[in-house]
């Protein structure tokens, strides 16, 4: 009862806030452009002068500013410590010198299902001395290979060079602890700096064409306003900014044909800074156990169960994990009873009569590809779209199933996409009637990792408002939001797409959609808990588990 009432109040406040917020215009973020570093695959370099974009549009509303501050605080990283360039590695975190220890549970080395397992990580530097401050980016996973079981660990930074890693114990048998250093704390300020100073490190271009004339110019979320005339493609509905330099020839801004990635800025970091990003040394590198990295988990204690249900104080298993793998299948801990959709007819039955709209980046396109491959009766309609960009559409006429994929708008960073296919997710959602036959799946994160977090917050805020509007007019619409996932990291990849950027976006996304009636597919944990290597495009078994999660939510098993 109280739960419902407080949910109702929450929704009411949220709606009120959104109404207020809607009265204000959006503002455009500004940042420094550094044209000196731009090497743009054969295009003329941007203007030679380093400058700031002038402040465009309106300031954020007080509510937006407050929310933004709260979100930024929620993902704040420990203050960087001074870093000595004269001995760049010596005092930085070294996985090879660092260790973790599995701590006894309540003084005993005995663990039962329902307990927690705690490991203590002690970080040392390259000279073997203990670190005295926190901020290392660690990932932890508990797993049992023969059971194909795995769960993500929760890492707690004590701020003094030690970290606790907590795992819920959810199955019996031998379990192993994996701890990985993704980045030493010293690498994080480097990432922070390039994120703030080089938000334009992925370059974008557009082709303008009319008759025999054609010209390509550079584009971005923000360009200097006083150097060259701009074409303003700010979205009239959401206010999302996008600009291109106006073609020099007699081509109007209306003659923009496509949008594409134009390359990357180079030389963003110094040689010494690059030492902080060495694969197998201090970039995504395992930390070893001091003694054993494994324990045996015994069956759940009987008396413990009774104590828990009888006593008000004893909380049920408190776990921050959103789910875990067992026998290779993901089991969500959020309430949805998982059901395996192993044969195509079960999926077809579930999706019968439904329209499935997928919006976002290639990580949701994978769902589209999975379903079109797996369901023989789902026929792809040829829209003559390029393979990576879409849009795509597939239909199963006998079962009245429609599947559509539409990429999100700029800053999508791909091979050329027609401007007519550049759509903002929020606007697409506004174009849906919704209802119990409509499933919406959204995944938008990977192309935002090179921008300041504020850009992502603003984008998600627009999407959230559109989701709220959709659920208001058609409450039975199923809305699924997929979070960010882990990916492979080399030096170059991590400068553009570090998991550290992703974990920040992931934190924002999860906070943004909290409390809404949506299904969150926790791709972060689903890729962390799985034994397959991290990949921007998670492997088919992970995708299948994500699809199962969605379908279990769409078609719950009736008791």
Residue 558 touches ligand NAG, criterion: CB under 6 A: no
Of the two residues 69 and 266, which places its CB atom closer to ligand NAG in the complex? 266
Q: Show the 3-state SS of 530-556.
A: CCCCCCCCCCHHHHHHHHHHHHHHHCC
Beta bridge partners of 155: 165
- Angle at which helix 188-197 crosses helix 499-512, to 10 degrees, equals 70
Residue 296 touches ligand NAG, criterion: CB under 6 A: no
DSSP helix/strand/coil, 18: helix
Tell me how far, at minimum, the Cβ of 194 lies from ligand NAG, in Å: 8
Residue 78 touches ligand NAG, criterion: CB under 6 A: no
- Angle at which helix 62-74 crosses helix 499-512, to 10 degrees, equals 130
Of the two residues 271 and 303, which places its CB atom closer to ligand NAG in the complex? 271
Q: What single-letter DSSP state applies at residue 355?
A: E
Residue 415 touches ligand NAG, criterion: CB under 6 A: no
d(CA 25, CA 7): 28
Provide the CA 88 distance to its chain's centre, in angstroms: 31
Residue 7 touches ligand NAG, criterion: CB under 6 A: no
Q: How many residues bind ligand NAG (CB under 6 A)?
A: 25
Q: What single-letter DSSP state applies at residue 185?
A: G
Give the HSE-up count for residue 269: Cα atoms under 13 Å, Cβ half-sphere: 22
Of the two residues 160 and 345, which places its CB atom closer to ligand NAG in the complex? 160
C-alpha dihedral over 323, 326, 328, 334, to 10 degrees?
-20
Beta bridge partners of 57: 27
Of the two residues 225 and 227, which places its CB atom closer to ligand NAG in the complex? 225
By CB under 6 A, what part of segment 116-175 binds ligand NAG? 127, 158, 160, 162
Provide the CA 50 distance to its chain's centre, in angstroms: 31
Tell me how far, at minimum, the Cβ of 278 lies from ligand NAG, in Å: 15
**Parallel, antiparallel, or unpaired: how do β-strands 162-168 and 116-122 relate?**
antiparallel
CB crowding 349-387: b at 16 or more within 10 Å, else e: ebbeebbbbbbbbbbbbbbbbbbbebbeebeeeeeebee
DSSP 385-412: --TTT--EEEEETTTTEEEEEEE--SS-
Stretch that binds ligand NAG, among 16-24, 145-153, 349-357, 489-497 (CB under 6 A): 489-497
Of the two residues 141 and 421, which places its CB atom closer to ligand NAG in the complex? 421
Tell me how far, at minimum, the Cβ of 508 lies from ligand NAG, in Å: 22
Among 266, 288, 473, 532, binds ligand NAG (CB under 6 A): 266
Residue 418 touches ligand NAG, criterion: CB under 6 A: yes
Tell me how far, at minimum, the Cβ of 498 lies from ligand NAG, in Å: 10
Please give the residue whose beta carbon sits closest to ligand NAG in the complex: 87
Of the two residues 71 and 179, which places its CB atom closer to ligand NAG in the complex? 179
Tell me how far, at minimum, the Cβ of 220 lies from ligand NAG, in Å: 12
By CB under 6 A, what part of segment 518-557 binds ligand NAG? none
Residue 460 touches ligand NAG, criterion: CB under 6 A: no
* Contact (Cβ atoms closer than 8 angstroms) between residue 168 and residue 321: yes
By CB under 6 A, what part of segment 495-514 binds ligand NAG? 495-496
d(CA 555, CA 559): 12
Among 44, 386, 533, 556, binds ligand NAG (CB under 6 A): 386
Residue 232 touches ligand NAG, criterion: CB under 6 A: yes
Stretch that binds ligand NAG, among 69-77, 133-141, 322-330, 380-388 (CB under 6 A): 380-388
Tell me how far, at minimum, the Cβ of 359 lies from ligand NAG, in Å: 18
Of the two residues 385 and 517, which places its CB atom closer to ligand NAG in the complex? 385
Tell me how far, at minimum, the Cβ of 459 lies from ligand NAG, in Å: 16
Residue 384 touches ligand NAG, criterion: CB under 6 A: yes
* Contact (Cβ atoms closer than 8 angstroms) between residue 219 and residue 259: yes
DSSP helix/strand/coil, 208: strand
Stretch that binds ligand NAG, among 70-78, 226-234, 326-334, 356-364 (CB under 6 A): 226-234
SS3 of the chain: helix, strand, coil, percent, to 5: 30, 25, 45
Stretch that binds ligand NAG, among 109-117, 264-272, 370-378, 394-402 (CB under 6 A): 264-272
The end-to-end CA distance of the chain, in Å, is 23
Residue 474 touches ligand NAG, criterion: CB under 6 A: no
Residue 21 touches ligand NAG, criterion: CB under 6 A: no
Residue 225 touches ligand NAG, criterion: CB under 6 A: yes
DSSP 467-536: HHHHHHH-TT-EEEEE--------HHHHHHH-HHHHHHHHHHHHHHTTTSS-EEE-HHHHHHSSSSPP-S
Tell me how far, at minimum, the Cβ of 234 lies from ligand NAG, in Å: 4
Stretch that binds ligand NAG, among 172-180, 379-387, 517-525, 543-551 (CB under 6 A): 379-387
Among 14, 301, 493, 539, binds ligand NAG (CB under 6 A): 493
Of the two residues 153 and 391, which places its CB atom closer to ligand NAG in the complex? 391
**Phi, psi (5° rounding) for residue 399?**
-100, 5
Tell me how far, at minimum, the Cβ of 57 lies from ligand NAG, in Å: 4
Q: Which residues contact 205 (CB under 8 A, 6 or more apart)?
A: 40, 43, 216, 217, 218, 219, 244, 259, 260, 261, 262
Q: What single-letter DSSP state applies at residue 55?
A: P
By the criterion CB under 6 A, which residues form the site for ligand NAG? 56-57, 86-87, 90, 127, 158, 160, 162, 225, 230, 232, 234, 257, 264, 266, 268, 384-386, 418, 492-493, 495-496
């Amino acid at each position: 009862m109280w739960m419902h009432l407080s949910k109702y109040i929450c929704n009411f406040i949220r709606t009120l806030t959104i109404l207020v917020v809607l009265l204000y215009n959006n503002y455009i973020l500004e940042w420094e452009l550094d044209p000196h570093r731009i090497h743009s695959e054969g295009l003329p370099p941007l203007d030679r002068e380093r400058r700031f974009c002038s402040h465009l549009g309106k300031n954020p509303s007080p509510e937006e500013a407050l929310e933004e501050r709260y979100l930024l605080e929620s993902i704040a990283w420990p203050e960087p410590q001074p870093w000595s360039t004269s001995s760049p590695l010596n005092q930085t975190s070294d996985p090879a010198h660092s260790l973790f220890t599995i701590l006894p549970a309540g003084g005993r080395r005995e663990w039962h299902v329902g307990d927690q397992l705690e490991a203590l990580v002690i970080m040392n530097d390259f000279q073997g001395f203990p670190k005295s401050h926190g901020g290392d980016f660690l990932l932890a996973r508990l797993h049992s290979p023969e059971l194909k079981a795995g769960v993500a660990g929760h890492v707690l930074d004590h701020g003094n060079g030690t970290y606790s890693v907590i795992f819920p114990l959810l199955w019996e048998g031998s379990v192993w602890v994996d701890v990985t250093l993704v980045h030493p704390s010293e690498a994080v300020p480097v990432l922070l700096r390039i994120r703030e100073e080089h938000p334009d490190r992925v370059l974008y271009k557009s082709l303008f064409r009319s008759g025999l004339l054609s010209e390509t110019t550079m584009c971005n979320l923000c360009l200097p306003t006083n150097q060259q005339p701009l074409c303003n493609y700010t979205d009239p509905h959401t206010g999302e900014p996008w600009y291109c330099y106006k073609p020099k020839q007699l081509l109007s801004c209306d003659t923009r044909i496509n949008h594409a990635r134009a390359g990357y800025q180079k030389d963003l970091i110094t040689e010494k800074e690059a030492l902080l990003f060495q694969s197998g040394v201090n970039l995504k590198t395992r930390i070893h156990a001091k003694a054993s990295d494994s324990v045996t988990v015994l069956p759940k204690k009987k008396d413990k169960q009774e104590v828990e249900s009888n006593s008000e104080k004893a909380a049920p298993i408190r776990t921050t994990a959103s789910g875990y793998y067992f026998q290779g299948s993901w089991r969500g801990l959020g309430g949805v009873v998982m059901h395996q959709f192993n044969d195509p007819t079960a999926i077809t039955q579930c999706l019968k009569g439904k329209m499935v709209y997928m919006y976002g980046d290639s990580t949701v396109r994978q769902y589209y590809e999975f379903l079109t491959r797996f369901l023989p009766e789902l026929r792809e309609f040829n829209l003559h779209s390029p393979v990576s960009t879409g849009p795509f559409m597939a239909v199963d006429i006998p079962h009245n199933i429609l599947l559509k994929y539409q990429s999100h708008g700029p800053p999508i960073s791909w091979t050329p996409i027609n401007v007519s296919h550049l759509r903002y997710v929020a606007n697409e959602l506004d174009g849906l009637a919704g209802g119990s036959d409509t499933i919406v799946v959204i995944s938008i994160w990977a192309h935002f990792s090179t921008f300041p977090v504020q850009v992502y917050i603003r984008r998600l805020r627009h999407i959230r408002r559109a989701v709220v509007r959709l659920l208001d007019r058609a409450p039975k619409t199923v809305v699924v939001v997929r979070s960010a996932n882990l990916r492979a990291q080399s030096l170059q990849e991590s400068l553009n797409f570090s998991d550290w950027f992703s974990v920040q976006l992931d934190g924002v996304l999860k906070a943004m959609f909290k409390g809404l009636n949506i299904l969150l597919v926790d791709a972060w944990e689903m890729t962390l808990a799985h034994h397959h290597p991290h990949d921007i495009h998670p492997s088919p078994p992970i995708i299948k588990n994500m699809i199962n999660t969605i379908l279990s939510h769409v078609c719950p098993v009736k008791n």
